Amino acid sequence: MQNTYKSCLMIFMGLFCIFAISSCFPYASALLIGGKVVKEYVPRKILVAYEAQGPAPPGAQFYLIETDSGLAFYTKDPTGGIICEKHWVEGGADYFAAAWFGNGPAFIFKVPMDRTQNAERYVYENLTYKGTPGDRMRPMPVKPKEKPDTLLIPKDIYDAGRK
């Protein structure tokens, strides 16, 4: 009887652990400040699709998209994707960003207002950026890079207009 009880308890604890671990995956977005993690996402409207020139994750795809809450930048790879929702306009360009809370990296995308021009992707490792005063959701590099990590060349422009 004692062994049956222990076996049932071990099975229950094993199933509970599997459930607890698997239920944590949707909360990965909570750790992404300024954006969200998506698994099987289909954008409502793609404005521009980009081709990466330079370092990028294998199989990565890059899109300027329109969401229910406005413009965003979507990066997709074979494992899922990230939607960078933090958006601001500065110096004739739209900027989009997202950063992993507490352990980096931060991603910043610069998209010129003229959608036929190349966009830029910047990646800042942990401790090389901080939150802007009054806006901790906007990662600001401690030492901005002179060149982008990846150049994003427009390959398909579906809607170059601004809303």
pLDDT higher than 90, residue 38? yes
Over residues 63-105, the pLDDT tens digits come to 999 999 999 999 999 888 999 999 999 999 999 999 887 677 8
Q: What residue ranges do the domains of the chain occupy?
A: 31-157
Separation CA 157–CA 159 (nearest Å): 6
Residue 53 makes CB contacts below 8 A (sequence gap 6+) with: 150, 151, 152, 153
Q: What's the confidence (pLDDT) of residue 10?
A: 42
Q: What percent of the chain has pLDDT over 70?
A: 74
Question: What average pLDDT score do residues 22-47 get?
Answer: 73
On whether the CB atoms of residues 29 and 36 are closer than 8 A, the answer is: yes
Higher-confidence residue: 8 or 111? 111
Percentage of the residues of the chain whose pLDDT score is greater than 90? 50
Q: What is the per-residue pLDDT for 8?
A: 38
Averaged confidence pLDDT in the chain: 79
So what's the pLDDT on residue 29? 47
- Which secondary-structure segment (H or E) carries 5? helix 2-24
Q: Contact, 46 vs 69, CB < 8 A?
A: no
* pLDDT single digits (tens) 122-137: 999 887 777 765 565 6
Kindly indicate the confidence band of residue 16, based on its pLDDT and cuts at 50, 70 and 90: very low
Burial of 61 (0-12, 13-18, 19+ CB in 10 A): middle
